[in-house]
Amino acid sequence: MNLLENLKNNVLVADGAMGTVLYSHGIDFCYEELNVEKPEIIEKIHLDYIAAGADIIQTNTYSANALKLARYGMENRVKEFNEAAIQIAKRAAAQGNQYVLGTIGGLRGIRKSDASLADVLAIVREQADTLLAGDPDGLLLETYYDFEELSTVVKELRRMTDRPIVAQVSMDEPGVLQNGLLLNDALHQLEAIGADVVGVNCRLGPYHTIQAFEKVTLPKRAFLSAAPNASLLDVEDGRIVYVSEADYFGRAAALLREEGVRLIGGCCGTTPKHIAAAKKHLSGLAPITKKVVTPEKPIVIREADPAKYEPLHEKAKTTRTVIVELDTPRHLETEQYFIGANQLYDAGVDAVTMADNSLASPRISNMAMGSIMKMQHNVRPLVHLTCRDHNLIGLQSHLMGLDALGIHDILAVTGDPTKVGDFPGATSVYDVSSMELLQLIKQLNEGISFTGKPLRKKAKFSVAAAFNPNVRVLDRAVQRLEKKIECGADYFITQPVYTKEKIVDIYEATKHLETPIFIGIMPLTNIRNAEFLHHEVPGIKLSEDVLERMRACGDDREKATREGVAIAKELIDTAAELFNGIYIITPFLRYDMSLELIQHIKELDAEKERNVVHA
């Protein structure tokens, strides 16, 4: 009897975790390599699960793909590891007539950049070809957080084979996927595109897995599956542990059956003891064929509160818009900083921007300073947010805090690596890229958290992205801009530009885009400042003419300031003709220089208006 025929009338028990058992034995290297180097270890684990009562075992191939094996320099051994794995599993299953599923693990976490869909398909085809050649009873897709990836893989495998496909999603929150899709909807969609068994595995323990299935209706054709973790994970003495009694897991298996689940196994933290308990509690129980699901009361997501300011990207589409960067202090004396911020805002700038620990050097939190500026000084802040300093938890918490404070102007940037800053031994986080951060911020604007959970109210962020035009091939940089627009960028802020020719090049390369661009202008203070920027700061290059002009000022501070401002004014003259957005970067809290440039922009615009009137 094939697997699907058996599931029509029976609840079947699958095996538990392979990695957990290996980890408990002190093995912490590539598990898939053991298929070749120590096959007896893998076979012993299969046999232990069979002895515990498992009707189904899966191959030790969760990470046996080119992308994950590349971590160990073994990306060329995909076929070898998968061939060995299915031979081991079938040899073990032959002794008890168990079913064997060829396992293919998910590639993406929250980062879509981990693998493009084209890469996913190529990787899956390579692994699936080998597994299918080994004649499994079906294929198991497990630990897929990204529904787009799983859907794509199911469609491809359905094209490749008519063998049973088990497709399992992983949830961060009970009953909802990362993209906000309800579990019930996701499972029925997987059924519609060809999956024969649909369900969940990993991340959540029995309690939350049961909770998630309470809102899942029975599929019309497919069967439901579940492989929860033993419990929520804990860490003891640096080791990951799962604290769960086997009998508790067994009782949970019986409750899952009451929710319509017919294929029940275990994921992280489960062992043969857990599977034996599940088998015991499921013994003699037939699958349910009818289930009443009480419709869940939809959570109303309120619209965002009305914006206090016109979004910068909207204003920049039609009229002159000026933002000025004034980085927060590296010390705790803030009086002069707020004097400068007030003077800049009083001079008519649209927002004062603050970097997020630029050049990986600690400064006073821009969130704190932005809040003080807004609440106590009525100055509009635009805060930068790096992927370097915050993990996903911190990023969402930070953004929710900004929304609560009414600060909705954000620049999403990757952030300079820590090795360039004051603490080169500090850790760079980079859970996501700046493009993924853009997508996540726009997800908050829909009232959906990073994990897919409703936030009950929409955020209202206007999000800028960084643009470095100081590159050899500008077209490639523009292609990157286009990708950022697809990810949700509302406008762009450039690195400082120091030649008129470059500004014209930027215009010609981007004039097909409707997304506003703010041209970065940073006045130079002296030749040492100029040479530092030119030679040491990534993404900034000065022309030889500019370097010579600053060099000619020698050590005369006043002359160097005048020359730096003069160069900046010349650049503004060109930028103001081609772009509505101007981004002035204040050097070393020298807001007097920025004030002079703001006045120059006002005079340019006034002159332009007079010329229009006279014309």
Please give the annotated binding residues for Zn(2+), written as ranges.
202, 267-268
If we measure between CA atoms, which residue out of 73, 70, 134 comes closest to residue 103?
134
d(CA 85, CA 64): 9
What CA–CA distance (Å, rounded) separates 140 from 105?
A: 8
CA distance 381 to 393: 23
DSSP string, 171-194: -SBTTB-TTS-BHHHHHHHHHHTT
Radius of gyration of the chain (CA): 30
Number of neighbouring beta carbons within 10 Å of residue 47: 18
**Rounded alpha-carbon distances, angstroms, from residue 528 to 306, 327, 356, 550, 584:** 47, 20, 24, 9, 20
* Tokens, residue 179: 């993209």
**Which tokens hold the place of 28?**
């912490």
Residue 374: strand pairing partners? none
From the list 485, 490, 497, 471, the residue with the least C-alpha distance to 571 is 497
Q: What are the tokens at 181?
A: 């899709």
Question: What's the CA gap between 169 and 202, in Å, rounded?
Answer: 9
Whole-angstrom distance, CA of residue 225 vs CA of residue 578: 59
How far CA 296 is from CA of 184, 215, 451, 482, in Å, comes to 11, 7, 19, 39
Structural contact between residues 301 and 455, judged by C-beta atoms closer than 8 angstroms: yes
Instruction: Find out whether 327 and 354 touch, Cβ atoms under 8 Å.
Output: yes
Cα end-to-end span (Å), the chain: 88
- Specify binding-site residues: 202, 267-268
